[in-house]
Homo-oligomer: A and B are copies of this chain.
């Protein structure tokens, strides 16, 4: 078994931290029982372990191949995607009205983690298809929805996001692809898009490209961008496939990682299609509101990439943990007759626990965010919906930024645990290190997440959400202190968590105060520290969730229901508090010193 779904931890987080009960009680989830959720998670685990995970290395060693515009995916991918489609996995969290299963995002997040852990490169295809479905469901016409969504849910078609052009990466104001309206109401698109994940492949009958482009009279900048549906094959009235559209894959990129995922250069309007020159596209919503619509799928995709960070971390952790228990090297610190497993050495434990605690902390935080999303959509009380919407939107850039940056660290430690063997490609640890590196980049770099976080999630509400969460964290500190004072399971550890969490929350509040007070007069001071501030929020929020987990684990042990799982959870949380939470202090100082540092930063990079 190359990967085993962490079902026990997933269940623990769902039930003990992310309020699965509360989510299942929401209007619309009446038919979703806890038993059903358990069954879905079990079946999901079985499927990805058996059908998807074994293809991970083949995707790395045998990347997708381009030949005259056609792309052949890695060995086994096409068959696996058919099984994925047949299992109904694409529809897991989409509405039943389109043929989906309508499960909570909370459950979808867990399933998404598993498949991404099993095979990151493979899973990008359904990930992007999810985003296209979500965007069309939100802003497509009913005709667009009924024409395009069901085939995607069935896994017959897949979807892509087309934002980037060579001159327009993070800066979408520079998008130059043209869209000219035709007499029939459709548009003809021409231009070049790059970095299009699964922009061409052989796993589906059709590909639904969502494309940002400009109409001839559109305003400059991001306010002149419109969103279009451009199918690879045009779709007849009866849903059957028609003429080949004028969108072509010019080449695939040669990448550091995720080799199994074809990253396409797409040419629109090169004149080779069966439907005449210019790619036929259909406007989504209104002209010039494309960026707004794209953000619907961007937000879903950003959250999903955060989940990918947790997924790669879990996979790297499992690989390193297995090796550390197999590999015999060196005597025990206290002396031993012969070599011991390296998992017995303190620094290997430090590495494994850094990996494990970052992974489990990131997971807990992301699932709590998913629950907030479910409540923001379905709770009966508008005030509860609004509160959860604010919390979810606050957490999305944290989940994306923190989990993906963590995944690079975790995968790097995974290599290190293997020693020299980690550097040998056949070992497999290096793949995660290469794969993880894209995660802090695509769907908005960490800096873009930090801009969103500071600008829209902190400054816009004057830090209200942040402050509300800080109060809840302080309540958790008080609970930890009380539990520690009572003695019982892990009391000294709970006390450690309490003091470190209290210090971290204080550090976060200081930094938030600085951001709020400096935004008006010292914007560079704020933004020199915006990524440290975002990561600080991640360190503290994930630490808070692990602190809550430690309380549960300690209570279970006190109640005589202790188990290896609870022991490990408590110990992992204690480690996080000792080794990861203290990062809050240094990150906070970096933010707070921004006033002076930002006056010199520009001088140091300009020759």
Contact = CB atoms under 8 A, between A and B. Distances in A.
27 contacts: A194-B420, A254-B425, A254-B426, A255-B425, A343-B605, A345-B447, A346-B530, A346-B601, A348-B447, A416-B446, A422-B441, A430-B437, A433-B437, A434-B434, A492-B596, A500-B593, A567-B603, A568-B607, A570-B603, A571-B600, A574-B596, A574-B597, A575-B604, A578-B594, A582-B589, A582-B593, A583-B586
A321 B605 contact: yes
A253 interface: yes
B524 A333 contact: yes
Interface string A351-365: 011001000000000
A523 interface: yes
Interface in A253-268: 253-257
A474 interface: no
A170 interface: yes
A568 B419 contact: no
A601 B571 contact: yes
B593 A350 contact: no
Interface string A180-199: 00000000000000110000
Contact of A353 (B352, B578, B605): B605
Nearest to A564: B607
A496 B572 CA distance: 36
B602 A349 contact: yes
Nearest to A168: B329
Contacts of A347: 447, 450-451, 527-528, 530-531
B344 A602 contact: yes
Contacts of A243: none
A416 B445 contact: yes
Shortest Cβ-Cβ A-B pairs, 10 listed: A571-B604, A582-B589, A578-B593, A346-B527, A578-B597, A571-B600, A582-B586, A347-B447, A256-B430, A171-B329
A349 B605 contact: yes
Given A356-B604, A420-B164, A442-B420, A527 B333 contact: yes
Nearest to A569: B604
A262 to B, nearest CB: 14
Nearest to A590: B579
A121 to B, nearest CB: 13
A599 to B, nearest CB: 8
Contacts of A579: 532, 590, 593, 597
A423 interface: yes
A493 interface: yes
Interface residues of A, number: 107
A88 interface: no
Contacts of A120: none
Nearest to A597: B578
A423 B450 contact: no
A441 B416 CA distance: 7
A442 B352 CA distance: 20
A170 B330 contact: yes
Contacts of A344: 602
A353 B593 CA distance: 15
Interface in A198-254: 253-254
A440 B416 contact: yes
B601 A349 contact: yes
A420 B346 contact: no
A528 B496 contact: no
A412 interface: yes
B586 A600 contact: no
Contacts of A606: 343
Interface string A414-446: 011001111111100010011001101110011
A590 B170 CA distance: 37
Contact of A346 (B334, B412, B528, B607): B528
A343 B604 CA distance: 11
Given A333-B524, A347-B450, A347-B451, 14 more contacts: A171-B339, A195-B420, A254-B425, A255-B425, A345-B447, A346-B524, A352-B604, A353-B605, A422-B441, A434-B434, A500-B589, A500-B593, A571-B600, A582-B589
A470 to B, nearest CB: 19
A605 B254 CA distance: 37
Contacts of A433: 256, 437
Given A255-B423, A329-B170, A579-B532, A601 B447 contact: no
A256 B415 contact: yes
A83 interface: no
Nearest to A333: B523
Contacts of A450: 347
A287 interface: no
A526 to B, nearest CB: 8
A453 to B, nearest CB: 12
A324 interface: yes
Max chain B C-beta neighbours (<10 A), residue from A348, A424, A450: A424
A441 B423 contact: yes
B492 A434 contact: no
A85 to B, nearest CB: 28
A585 interface: yes
A444 to B, nearest CB: 10
